[in-house]
Amino acid sequence: MDGIAFQAAEHLAEGARERTPIDTGLLHRSWQAVETGALTAKAKNEVHYASFVEFDTRHWISRNIVPGQRFMHRAMVETEDKLKVLVKERVEEIIRGSFNGK
């Protein structure tokens, strides 16, 4: 199953990037996938205001609620489907290999 977590993290980072609104472009450019262990990885964005754009927040001057963009949430839902495909393909590959003597 080696590499599947990183592939899923890459897919998640790309999905979030595609959905991230662009003002200055910093938030959009800052998505990355990082391998965190042998079977683990994560998508991350270290821009300090990423969570404010993702979730509802209150504008600091007008006090109006600014609705969240939910770019990460939508990317996560899509990545769940992609992860299922990646795992299914890898399991089928392993099974085929065991019957072919590989």
Residue 16 has a pLDDT of 94
Model confidence over 38-80: pLDDT tens digits?
889 999 999 998 888 888 877 777 778 878 888 888 899 889 9
Stated pTM of the model: 0.77
β-sheet bridge partners, residue 43? 33
Q: Which residue would you say has higher pLDDT here, 34 or 4?
A: 34
How is the chain split into domains, by residue range? 4-97
Q: How far is CA 102 from CA 27, 55, 87, 94, 96, in A?
A: 45, 48, 19, 9, 8
**Residues 74, 65: Cα–Cα separation, whole Å:** 21
β-sheet bridge partners, residue 44? 32
